[in-house]
Structure 1
Amino acid sequence: MTDSDFDLVLRGNRVYAGAGTGAWEVGVRGGAVAAVVPLGTGLTGDRVVELADDEALIPGLVDSHVHVNEPGRTEWEGFASATRAAAAGGVTTVIDMPLNSIPPTVSVEALEVKREVAAGQAFVDVGFWGGAVPGNTGDLRALHEAGVFGFKCFLLHSGVDEFPQLEPEEMEKDLAELASFDSLLIVHAEDSQVIADAPEPTGPEYSGFLASRPRSAENKAIAQVIDAARRTRGRAHILHLSSADALPLIAAAKREGIRLTVETCPHYLTLLAEEIPDGATAFKCCPPIREASNRELLWQGLQDGTIDFIVSDHSPSTLDLKDLENGDFGVAWGGVSSLQLGLSLIWTEAHRRGIPLETVLEWMSRRPAELAGLGRKGRLEVGADADFAVFAPEDSFVVETAKLHHKNPITPYAGKELTGSVRRTFLRGTEVSGDEPTGRLLRRG
């Protein structure tokens, strides 16, 4: 090969490539992976990165569940801060949720507003989900053709009035509509009536909040989604699974051939209800963090394939909305900020359990990319986008909120010691500096 045959060459003893983990050289040309060859081949490039002995090269993570909130609630988070945080955590692609921004992404016009705002601000690549709300069934096909990756709905109050919930029959109607052009419905599955009948959450006791969002609310709603997917033959995806009680139902649906996928999140896999202090509203999210026995079953569900992958559900807010002064779980905003920390959180727990990094990357890179149909993302192989992170699996650090790029300095992980740190992130072969936003806005297909 001639000098500077590639724009970038990376060499290391631990490269997590599609062909297997090993000592590889990776050649990048035109923003894509152009070669993966054994270490020692001697690829030449305009730039060469030699990994340190303690570093691994991994495919960039894909986080398909991020609330950026811009425009309209940019003080909660925005495209610049969210994508900086993503890059710092090795995430090279995020898909933005359709709510908490104003307007919500429930029409083509609203999608264009969001794209205009995001343009020129993104440090990683950004795609968009559409929203399914009462009355917008006629907008779904146009949004699909405009490039959204699928549609989100709620089966109970979403937390913001401008994104109303669907009743089960409306959800099924929209799922049938989406099936006609093979789009995807992603569902916040908690049953509104079960929660209405549960105790009201008030005060600082976490146990009271947990009782207000019982597992039965998730179980009932997930059963409704499965029934609708069975009848319509549509594609459905369960967001942020926290109730392990639903795993047998999900597994049976998959065996039946129902087109169902399921995600869970770092907070359900690393935190425990028994350890949450009263008044610690940084831990509030919906559905809630549950008990140790439930957590163990979620890990089992991941390992046996019932749960497909892990994404953040990064849902930040301003500090005042977390009601830190009073610590009242009844009034605090429900959402966990973790976009920058996901890989380290999951690797810390997975490593302790003897789960290899290859499996973690399957859960956090390849499978979320597959859900969204992002064939060039989530894998390190020839033809894929040259999106990488340099990860030090044996490194450790203590989470300091002041060092996070999230706009608001609050996270339930403050003070937690984690294993594995992201040292560098590359987007299409260019290192992300945090100074110049080079992320692109992605469209389905």
Structure 2
Amino acid sequence: MIKRTLVFVLLFGLVCCEEDVAPPQAEAQNPTLQGQKKLSENIMSILEHYKQEDPVGLPGAPIPDPMDIPEFSHSFSVGRMNFKNVKMYGLKRFKIDHISVDVNALKVEAELVIDKLDVRGNYTLSTWLSRSAGPYTVKLTDVDIVAIARLEVIRNGSLEAQEIDMDIRFKDIAMDFQNLGFFANMFQGMMNSVGTIVFDSIKPFVLAEANTNIRNDVNKEVRKIPKTFPNSISPLDDVMHEIRKKVRGMGMDPYKIPDYNNSVGVFDIFLTHTWLYGLGSFHRTKDVKFEFRNRTIRALLEVGTGTIKGTSNWEISLVAGIVTRSGSVAFSVDYIRSQINISQSLAEDVPPSLDDIQVELGNIQIRFDGLGTVDYAIEFGVNVLPNLLRYQIMDALETPIKMKIQEALDQVNMNKIIHENAEKLDNMKIEELQNL
């Protein structure tokens, strides 16, 4: 499960990173490779890319550089300026500040930064006095690009990318218009605003092109997914339903907890044959989120249950076993929740790391059987036993969960996984996708 999740995150980031490099022979033999680079090669190139100290761009990203901008013009009180042969340079020189993925909402938020963008072209300035023309350059520095993309389940149950919200901002702007002559001084106030006018004029085109291209690339990829989803629940919750069935099929509900003993004052307490019923009813209690920042993928997952029922046998020993009482107890736990934080560095060939795990139990209520008359055992049970059950359940769940997760993470070698599954990834057949 963890291996597949980490591979999924990498695949998610590859949607817009395909190149038109497949040879005709490969296209003929495997239609799924038409017009695209091998997926395994793409993943490996990205892993190698992020081992660099300061990675710039993304291998195979289909970003035109330079980008051709249509001609545009702007009118002033003193005349009119026309711009043609406009090109924007530097779009491929982006750096990923962070990417956040909300899996439940099928939403991706990304922020990219570019040190410098250049807009170059030719201008013509016509006024009531005269006319000038020549080349120009507008330099934008500390450029910030923010995008929010969403997938939705449409009527037929497949996924489809929706409109992408994007914006481009910059910190500083500088410009150089050649052959202005005396216009540079005469219309200084007007010329001071020309750089911003150029940016505002090309911004809608750049955003529209990016929106269309990204949506088309995303939809091309999600159409390959053979599974359909009900539009009444999120795809993630549909997957959780499948996992619950597997957990029950593995015989983990009911779940037997190891025996427990402890001392409280002069009492020795033993809890044996403790069973929990209902662990297989777990569900997502918060949105599952992934974040990519500083060449590291971080995942946050929280799952929980509804009310859990349980039974246990208890024995109380007093004065070194001279006085003993025993019986059984039925109890309920309002909920059990587990929050897991995992990180995977792309900068080094190291396994994923379990950064933190928290297990939380709700209120415990108990009901005794077999006590008989009211005596010290009832008082003990009401005041002490709920906390002892809490310790027993926590010890039985938190440590094994942590160990199992870390054991699984230690076996994850991203490069090895990709190499071993390269053929499956490259063929992208229906059955492989279903398994993925």
TM-score by length of 2: 0.23
TM-score (norm 1): 0.22
Look at both structures and tell me which one has the larger radius of gyration over its CA atoms.
2
Higher RCO (CA < 8 A, seq sep 6+): 1
Q: Give the structure with the larger strand fraction.
A: 2
